[in-house]
């Protein structure tokens, strides 16, 4: 018996990470979305941490310096591309995958006649890498909250999405991270589709 318990503990430690869900409904229910076909969406990056750098500002500072050292003037272009990837890759891919999975169309249009607003806050981005002989998936951690348009002070529901990883094959950072957002949108859409009734 003394030998069995340590073995069981070891097996639990090995298997537990695989049992963790990438998404978790931590507040409210999703049945209010049953007949919803359209929803506004807002993406927030104000508390973003990138890789092992900590705050996004630290990551940008380091990458700009690296680019400038190799080619003067390229650091600014890199920063513009890094920030531009949000609208070019992350947000469109999230919206498209979510819409296909949940059958709820997400729109950026603040004048749209929708009852609810989804706020997607990116807490963490792992950019990943691909150098040909070695690669590592990108990953994102997101907080997703849905608000009634008339009351933005208190969310109706909140979903935490941690360690959503994808995009191992892409050489460019933007498309690679974009695939992680696409996977997050798909997983969230499926979750809402199952639980909204």
Per-residue pLDDT tens digits for 109-144 = 988 889 999 999 999 999 987 776 777 888 999 999
**Upper half-sphere CA count for residue 144 (Cβ side, 13 Å):** 27
Q: Which two tokens stand for residue 119?
A: 């706020």
For residues 12-25, average pLDDT: 52
Q: Which two tokens stand for residue 127?
A: 């950019």
Instruction: Tell me what pLDDT residue 197 has.
Output: 64
Confidence check: pLDDT of 170 > 60: yes
Beta partners for residue 136, in sequence order? 129
Confidence check: pLDDT of 189 > 60: yes
Q: Which two tokens stand for residue 132?
A: 């040909």
Average pLDDT, the chain: 86
Distance, first Cα to last Cα, the chain: 46
Instruction: Tell me what pLDDT residue 75 has.
Output: 92
Confidence check: pLDDT of 12 > 70: no
Three-state DSSP class for 188?
A: helix
For residues 92-118, average pLDDT: 94
User: Which range (10-19, 70-79, 132-141, 144-153) has the least confidence?
Assistant: 10-19
The residues near 138 (Cβ < 8 Å, ≥ 6 apart) are: 125, 126, 127, 128, 165, 166, 167, 168, 173, 176, 177, 179, 180
- The CB-based long-range contact list for 142-145 (8 Å cut-off, 24+ gap) reads 142/184, 144/118, 144/119, 144/120, 144/188, 145/118, 145/119, 145/121
Confidence check: pLDDT of 171 > 90: no
Confidence check: pLDDT of 16 > 50: no
For residues 91-98, average pLDDT: 97
User: Which range (32-41, 72-81, 107-116, 123-132) has the least confidence?
Assistant: 123-132
Residue 165 burial by CB count (10 A; 0-12/13-18/19+): exposed, middle or buried? Answer: middle
Instruction: With both helix axes pointing from N to C terminus, report the angle between 74-85 and 173-195 in degrees, rounded to the nearest 10.
Output: 10
Q: Which two tokens stand for residue 141?
A: 């951690």
Confidence check: pLDDT of 14 > 80: no
């Amino acid at each position: 018996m003394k030998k069995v318990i340590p073995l069981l503990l070891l097996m639990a430690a090995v298997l537990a990470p695989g049992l963790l869900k990438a998404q978790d409904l931590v507040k409210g229910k999703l049945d209010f979305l049953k007949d919803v076909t359209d929803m506004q969406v807002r993406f927030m990056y104000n508390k973003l941490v990138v890789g092992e750098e900590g705050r996004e500002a630290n990551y940008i500072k380091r990458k700009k310096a690296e680019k400038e050292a190799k080619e003067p003037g390229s650091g600014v272009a890199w920063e513009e591309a890094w920030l531009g990837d949000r609208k070019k890759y992350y947000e469109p891919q999230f919206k498209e995958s979510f819409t296909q999975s949940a059958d709820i169309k997400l729109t950026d249009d603040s004048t749209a006649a929708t009852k609810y607003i989804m706020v997607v806050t990116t807490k963490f981005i792992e950019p990943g890498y691909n150098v040909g002989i070695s690669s590592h998936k990108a990953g994102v951690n997101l907080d997703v909250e849905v608000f009634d348009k008339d009351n933005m002070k208190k969310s109706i529901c909140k979903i935490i999405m941690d360690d959503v990883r994808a995009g191992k094959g892409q050489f460019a950072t933007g498309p690679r991270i974009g695939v992680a957002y696409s996977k997050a949108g798909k997983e969230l859409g499926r979750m809402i589709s199952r639980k909204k009734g």
